[in-house]
Amino acid sequence: MRTRLPLRLLVGVFGVLLLTYLVRRAGPAKLLESFATLGWGLALVIGLGGVSHLVKTWAWRLTLLDEKYQASFPRMFGLRLASEAVGQLGGLAQLFGETLRVSLLSPAIQLDSGIASVALDRAFFVLSAAVVSIVGLVAVLLVLPLPHTLSLYAGLFVVTLVGVVLVTALAVQKRWPVFSGMAQILGRIRYFSGWMERERSLIHSVENKLHNFYHHTPVAFWGSFALNLACHGAAVLEVYLVLWLMGAKIGLFSALTIEALTKLVNIAGTFNPGNVGTYEGGNMLIVKMFGLSGTAGLTLAFTRRFRAIFWAAVGGLWLVALSKSRKQSNSDDTTLAAIQVWQEPMPSLEPQKRVRCPDAHTLPLFLRTSGMAVSVSDQQFFRLALFPFCSEPFWEHKKQVLHESSLSSTD
């Protein structure tokens, strides 16, 4: 890990330098002129990206089956955007983004169900991307006059993708214990043995849910997969739309091949934080294969990146709003715990010189009859504020009960 971080930083710096070189080579003036040709179409591209996120959320929602009613569609949509906002950094950030989806999904949804739904959603997206890449690469091999070496590499990659799809389909059909088998292997390693032993039941439960989703609910299975394919179809449409707005004469078939090759660029740039530089350079090389200029490829890359940043910003804002609402909810829970402590019966105390504290029902009545418009939160505040005026035994008792109540709510 210590050597990997400096290496990723070095790759990131190289990507920024590469991007700077590409912009200077294309010409900033030409690049701005190319952007100007998009005009109102940029809003259309952003809107198409939003529709794609909605379809992805729908596909994810299908994987929860009956438990989907425990989490609202807007919440899942916000989590989808927040997860992809974190994943923009690439590498382990994508794994963190998926973990974020599981942890914030809903407290009413079981942990194994949340993990299984996110795993299924990611698997469907990857497999549907593989299908689109296979179709696009086959089209490249049949249509474009590629050099022999490049054709060979493209053919090998197609065979690899086909193998991955077939093996995955066979594993699901035959219920291969892939995850539990990997857990068993890792459990033999001393460093992981304790953790694997504790999480063994959870791993088996998640694996069973993954298999049952295909065998017991085939309609939801194929529905989610079809929606993910539609999302990749929207990506092809996005490529066509951007190039059409710039005046390029290409068809949907060419847009499909460009999108397939772009997915290869994304794979190559996995270890580059944000895929900065490599994504833009790859797009410039790809569009040149179709007779377009490097400036057109750079404009295409910048437009798609801007769309991704826009929706990532929306996801980030949603995450901030969710964090504030959770803090407010925790604060309200603490206040309610204090009110419950106040309303508990007072234990018998020996007679002392003390002031009788107002009853939980007497105080709101007194405030209302005195003509004061007091909200529930204000009433709670006054009840808490009167604690110091009670006798010392009363205060010590309430403080002890409040402390125990807060400890139990924390657990």
Q: What is the pLDDT along the chain (411 residues), one digit of tens a residue?
A: 455 566 667 777 777 888 888 888 888 888 888 888 888 899 999 999 999 999 999 999 999 998 988 999 999 999 999 998 888 776 677 788 888 899 888 888 888 899 999 999 999 999 999 999 999 889 888 877 777 787 888 888 899 999 999 999 999 999 998 888 888 888 888 887 788 778 888 888 888 999 999 999 999 999 999 999 999 999 999 999 999 999 888 888 889 999 988 988 888 777 777 788 888 888 998 898 888 888 999 999 999 999 999 999 999 899 888 888 776 665 555 555 555 544 555 444 444 444 444 444 444 433 343 334 444 434 443 344 344 444 444 445 544 544 555 455 445
Q: What total of structural domains would you count in the chain?
A: 2
What is the rounded CA–CA span in Å between residue 10 and residue 273?
A: 10
Looking at residue 359, what is its pLDDT?
43
Q: What is the pTM of this model?
A: 0.75
Tokens 């993954």, residue? Answer: 210
Residues 156 and 302 in one domain: yes
Q: Is residue 333 part of a domain?
A: no
Give the HSE-up count for residue 176: Cα atoms under 13 Å, Cβ half-sphere.
Answer: 9
Residues 162 and 232 in one domain: yes
Q: Is residue 190 part of a domain?
A: yes
Looking at residue 163, what is its pLDDT?
94
Residues 272 and 400 in one domain: no
Q: Is residue 334 part of a domain?
A: no
Looking at residue 127, what is its pLDDT?
93
Residues 212 and 149 in one domain: yes
- Last residue of one domain, picked from the residues 280, 309, 326: 326
Which H or E element spans position 361?
Answer: none
Q: Is residue 348 part of a domain?
A: no
Burial of 124 (0-12, 13-18, 19+ CB in 10 A): buried
Residues 88 and 138 in one domain: yes
Residues 244 and 319 in one domain: yes
Residues 270 and 370 in one domain: no
Residue 55 lies in domain: 4-326
Q: Is residue 331 part of a domain?
A: no
Q: Spell out the long-range contacts of 148-152 with Cβ–Cβ below 8 A and sequence spacing 24 or more.
A: none
Burial 283-318 (b: 16+ CB within 10 A, else e): bbebbebbebbbbbbbbbbbbbbebbeebbebbeeb
Q: Is residue 342 part of a domain?
A: no
Residues 167 and 43 in one domain: yes
Looking at residue 128, what is its pLDDT?
93
Q: Is residue 169 part of a domain?
A: yes
Looking at residue 95, what is its pLDDT?
83
- Last residue of one domain, picked from the residues 309, 326, 343: 326
Residues 70 and 199 in one domain: yes
Report yes or no: 265 and 3 within 8 Å, Cβ to Cβ.
no
Residues 278 and 383 in one domain: no
Looking at residue 304, what is its pLDDT?
93
Looking at residue 190, what is its pLDDT?
80
Residues 6+ apart with CB under 8 A from 212: none
Report yes or no: 342 and 383 within 8 Å, Cβ to Cβ.
yes
Q: Is residue 22 part of a domain?
A: yes
Distances in Å between the alpha carbon of 316 and those of 92, 270, 280, 406?
Answer: 18, 22, 24, 31
Residues 32 and 94 in one domain: yes
Looking at residue 408, what is its pLDDT?
54
- Give the tokens for residue 190: 């001393």
Residues 393 and 314 in one domain: no
Distances in Å between the alpha carbon of 16 and those of 12, 86, 281?
Answer: 6, 19, 11
What is the rounded CA–CA span in Å between residue 31 and residue 22?
A: 11
- Last residue of one domain, picked from the residues 310, 326, 342: 326
Looking at residue 369, what is its pLDDT?
38
